[in-house]
Amino acid sequence: LFEEVEDTEENLQPRSPVVVVMGHVDHGKTSLLDRIRHANVTSGEAGGITQHIGAYRVKAGGRDITFLDTPGHEAFTAMRARGALATDIAILVVAADDGIMPQTVEAINHAKAANLSIIVAINKMDKPTANPDKVKQELTEHGLVCEEWGGDVICVPVSAKTGEGIDELLEMVNLTADVLELKANPDRLAKGVVIEARIDKGRGPIATVLVQSGTLHTGDTIIAGTAVGRVRVMRDDKGKAVKEAGPSVPVEIMGLAEVPSAGDDFAAVEDEKLARELVEKRKFDAKEEQFKLYKKVSLDNLFSQIEEGSMKKLPIIVKADVQGSVEAVSQSLSKLSNEEVKVEVIHGAVGAVTESDVMLAKASGAIIVGFNVRPNPAAADNAKRDGVDIRLYRVIYDAIEEIETAMKGMLAPKYREVDTGRVEVRQVMKLSSVGVVAGSYVLDGKVQRNGEVRVVRDGIIVAVDKIAGLRRFKDDVKEVAAGYECGITLEKFTDIKDGDIFEAFVTEEYRD
């Protein structure tokens, strides 16, 4: 929708990383975010630290880091499900006295599905029962091997309570950012994503946006989702009024006519009239989209949605009643992969299908496979709304068979003949150079060079053959329409007679 300006290497400049904190409930996400914020905001700053705009910036080692102030992977994946990828790095918080818990696994899988770099913060190190080695051990079972054990995952022992390890954690964020070589062009119209939005009784719609590229200025006309407006006032995370915000900077803006949703994209545009037109189109598209989602997404559609190079990918989320089933199902489904289709279990866990599963499925284009479990009511509603496919089984074999069948159906395409027109043979000529040429007249439709013909004589099909040559006068042509004469040669069939009718057709691949 928005005009895409290609950024060249010269106009790209380093930008600071955007970080999200994830982990199991009560493992200390909020405490960690608070600690980082308090420790790294100078007390003299205007507005102090009471401002909550959904994201904030801290300084560490003289560099800025942007934190999304919405702990948990649900909020993150909800944004991603709307198409927004606002984050570079995930800090996975694991309590040292508790270890990997179900939501830790969820967080890992949500972060992996979004291709985030993961840094592990082993929290609550101040507790006497803290056991960081147990945490590291458990992490390896989920594919995260920490550096000191020869892997590539940075694990930092911290305490949100005492502040131990926090500086080192931030240092590691900077280090990871360096590896990622994060860059953006600050000299263009701003683009980014809506992090939070609400309506304020006195001030109207207020949105926190994260600028991802370009620079946003007060006075700019912007579109956010389907909301249009002119940025009247812009405040940073310390509550200070600012005139501009560059890449990786979150700001709260006022001036939109409506409240956008978290995860909507936003962009500054040159002129307001164009903005309004774009928004009308968006609103129309949104309705269309809604309509399409009423039709349940079939497996075939899903396969065709996600293509990685020549490889088709089918991401699957497995939920089951017991851990043994989760593993058995995950393994069996993964084994269905072949050279052309990769079945990838992106998340597996015990329990009912939840809203979080549905969000992850939407964000990743996955289907949800459930064994002896049911979606909870909200998850079922969301799945219907978002067109997420939930398939419930009682027998593992049924699931495997169904998915295998769908894969085969996709891999062995079906063909059908589509008639294009009818041709009458008026004079058969034998030419030494090209063989038998049927001097013909196209009665209706057309005949195509890349097509085939059924040779019909006295109501009987005497041959079916591919067209080898199609000419008008001396020229090779791609097709000849009704009312014109042409010369046709066939690949194999030479026993053509005057008065034969060629039914011209092409072969099309199709899916049912």
- Binding residues for ligand GDP (CB under 6 A): 23, 25-31, 71, 123-124, 126-127, 159-161
Question: Which three-class secondary structure state does DSSP give residue 383?
Answer: helix
Q: To the nearest whole angstrom, how small is the minimum distance from the Cβ of residue 41 to ligand GDP?
A: 18
On whether 30 is known to bind a ligand per the annotation, the reply is yes
On whether 26 is known to bind a ligand per the annotation, the reply is yes
On whether 69 is known to bind a ligand per the annotation, the reply is yes
Q: To the nearest whole angstrom, how small is the minimum distance from the Cβ of residue 94 to ligand GDP?
A: 10
Nearest to 85 by CA among 166, 169, 182: 182
Q: In terms of C-beta distances under 8 Å and separation of at least 24 residues, what long-range contacts does 326-332 make, across chains too?
A: 326/350, 328/396, 329/369, 329/371, 329/396, 329/399, 332/396, 332/399, 332/400
Nearer to ligand GDP, 15 or 29 (CB): 29
- 3 state SS for 225-246: CCEEEEEEEEECCCCCECCEEC
On whether 124 is known to bind a ligand per the annotation, the reply is yes
User: Which residues neighbour 401 within 8 Å (Cβ) at sequence distance 6 or greater?
Assistant: none
Q: To the nearest whole angstrom, how small is the minimum distance from the Cβ of residue 356 to ligand GDP?
A: 15
Nearer to ligand GDP, 11 or 31 (CB): 31
On whether 151 is known to bind a ligand per the annotation, the reply is no
Q: To the nearest whole angstrom, how small is the minimum distance from the Cβ of residue 65 to ligand GDP?
A: 19
Question: Which three-class secondary structure state does DSSP give residue 47?
Answer: coil
On whether 72 is known to bind a ligand per the annotation, the reply is yes
Residue 95 token pair: 């309590």
On whether 495 is known to bind a ligand per the annotation, the reply is no
Q: To the nearest whole angstrom, how small is the minimum distance from the Cβ of residue 55 to ligand GDP?
A: 16
Helix, strand, coil share (%) of the chain residues, nearest 5: 25, 40, 35
Q: To the nearest whole angstrom, how small is the minimum distance from the Cβ of residue 174 to ligand GDP?
A: 22
Q: To the nearest whole angstrom, how small is the minimum distance from the Cβ of residue 124 to ligand GDP?
A: 4
**DSSP secondary structure string for all residues of 98-133:** T---HHHHHHHHHHHHTT-EEEEEEE-TTSTT--HH
**C-alpha to C-alpha distance for 148 and 169, rounded to whole angstroms:** 15
On whether 142 is known to bind a ligand per the annotation, the reply is no
Q: In terms of C-beta distances under 8 Å and separation of at least 24 residues, what long-range contacts does 303-310 make, across chains too?
A: 303/341, 303/406, 303/407, 303/410, 304/410, 305/365, 306/365, 308/342, 310/340
Task: Kindly state the DSSP code that residue 360 receives in the 8-state scheme.
Answer: H
On whether 296 is known to bind a ligand per the annotation, the reply is no
The radius of gyration of the chain from alpha carbons, rounded to an integer in Å, stands at 31
Nearest to 210 by CA among 120, 108, 76: 76
Binding site, annotated residues? 23-30, 69-73, 123-126
Binding site, annotated residues for GTP? 23-30, 69-73, 123-126
